[in-house]
Structure 1
Amino acid sequence: MSKIGLFYGPENGNVEKVAKLIAEKIDSDRIVVHKVKDCEAKDLAQYSHIIMGISTLGKHNWSSANSGNDWDIFFPKLNGIDLKGKKVALFGLGDHIAYADFFVDAMGDLAESIQLTGAKIIGQVSDEGYEFGDSRAFKDGKFIGLPLDEDFEDDLTEERVENWLKIVLPEFK
């Protein structure tokens, strides 16, 4: 079996916590975890199977003053990279209470960037059991990846991760 590259950002918060949980649920010989802030786009190319994790900042933080986060720096590096034939699974963190109309939007933005590389996005999740107003990560009746809310639903995270990995890992054979 080929290695899985897990790329996440930002570090030292809930995205890192979930990235570590996902890594624990997968055989350690099978996964390599990367902080996206320490990576170049070519680092993605070494993997056929990729997991990416991102968080959505609240609308009050969406400003040019906040354009230096890990993913904002990494997104331009994806321009022109060819990931055809690779499978990518996404997880995103958001707040379904305070930001119900922007729930896990960053995961949707990441999906758009990844689709431009030619990679196939896998691991879509039903909206069953989720409450939200709107989301750029919700397409064709499903979330483009795994949405999580560590602020208000952290008690559901482990079960949601386990169920999502049952979808994703068979695709990573």
Structure 2
Amino acid sequence: MSKIGLFYGPEGGNVENVAKVIASKIDSSLFTLHKVKDADAELLSSYSCIILGLSTLGKHNWSSDNSGNDWDNFLPKLKGLDLKGKKIAIFGLGDHIAYADFFVDSMGDLAQIIEQTGGNLIGKVSGDGYEFNESRAFDDGEFVGLPLDEDFESDLTDKRVSKWLEIILPEFEK
């Protein structure tokens, strides 16, 4: 298997915690963790197997003190890449209670960029067992990646991550 680049942001919160949960379930020789805020396009494009982790805008982001995040700064770099031949999986965090109409929308937005740059999106997850109203990350009964709610369903994270890794790791080996 090619080495996996696991890129996540923001740091210091639930996304980083989930990235570490994922990392704990993969042989350490098979991946490298990267904070999106410290990464550049060349680093990401050096991997053929990539996991990207992000969160959807939450109420703490609406304040003027928080005008941007790690992904806001990285997305323009990502849009300029040629990701043809790269296998990319996404995990996204959201709040299915307070933001049921926007659940993990950022994951859907990121998936669109990946598809526009030629990346091969893997790791879709069935919507069974999830409660939400709307999501740009949901189409035809599936999410474009792994949706997680660390605010209200953190007890399900470990099981959901394990099940998702059973899907994506064999894909990375092909």
What residue identity is the alignment partner of 2:119? A
Moved more, 109-118 or 29-38: 109-118
C-alpha distance in 2 between matches for 1:60 and 1:21? 24
The aligned counterpart of 2:118 is 118
Q: What does 1:63-142 align with in structure 2 at a 5 Å threshold? A: 66-142=66-142
Contact 2:2 2:48 in 1 (8 A): yes
Deviation at 1:65, TM superposition (A): 6.2
Cα gap change, 1:70 to 1:50, in 2 (>3 Å): same
Q: Report if aligned partners of 1:9, 1:54 keep a CA contact under 8 Å in 2.
A: yes
Q: Percent identity?
A: 72
* Unaligned stretches of 5+ residues in structure 1: none
> SS at 2:29's partner residue?
coil
Residues 52 and 91, structure 1, Cα contact 8 Å, conserved in 2: yes
- One-letter identity of the residue aligned with 2:108: G
**Equivalent AA in structure 2 for residue 167 of structure 1:** I
Alignment of 1:155-166 (within 5 A): 155-166=155-166
Ranges in structure 2 where 5+ consecutive residues have no aligned partner? none
Counterpart of 1:52 in 2: which secondary structure? strand
Aligned length: 173
User: Is 1:8–1:53's contact at 8 Å kept on the other side of the alignment?
Assistant: yes
Whether contact under 8 Å (1:59, 1:99) holds in the other structure is no
Q: 1:51 to 1:151 in 2, by over 3 A?
A: same
CA distance, structure 2, for counterparts of residue 115 and residue 8 of structure 1: 19
Rounded to whole Å, the distance in 2 between the matches of 1:168 and 1:31 is 13
Does residue 38 (structure 1) correspond to residue 38 (structure 2)? The answer is yes
